[in-house]
Amino acid sequence: MSSRLNSTAVVSHIKRLAFGKANDAVKLAFIPPERLELIDELDLSMVSEVKRGAKGEVEVKLLNRVALLELLAKLLEGEAPRGSEAESFFTAMDKAAARLGDGK
């Protein structure tokens, strides 16, 4: 795996998230506590937060598709000037990829 992500790969990933299905996130809410090994089989890329209460209730929060689409539109239109939120996002993604490449 490359230690640096390029902007094309990041844009592609944002597209997948913005248009992805949340089916497995719904399945996650219904997995009984004694079957948590099933989580490994789910695509949870759309999930931003999960809470399981003491009485068994589950709250699953998904990524904000509107925000992803807005970011994607700006990136595709080239409206992300230096010092923008998009640049900060790419910098953070590069750092995360570098850490993954180092095994940290």
pLDDT in tens, 18-43: 888 889 988 988 888 899 899 999 99
Give 85's pLDDT tier (boundaries 50, 70, 90): low
Is 25 among the domain residues?
yes
Is 94 among the domain residues?
yes
Range of the domain at 60: 7-101
95 vs 49, more confident? 49
Cα separation of 64 and 83, whole Å?
22
Residue 82 has pLDDT above 60, yes or no: no
Is 2 among the domain residues?
no
Q: Among 86, 104, 102, which residue's Cα sits nearest to residue 2?
A: 102
Is 1 among the domain residues?
no
Is 36 among the domain residues?
yes
Number of structural domains found in the chain: 1
Average pLDDT, the chain: 81
The pLDDT value recorded for residue 1 is 46
Backbone angles phi, psi at 77, to 5 degrees: -90, -5
Is 72 among the domain residues?
yes
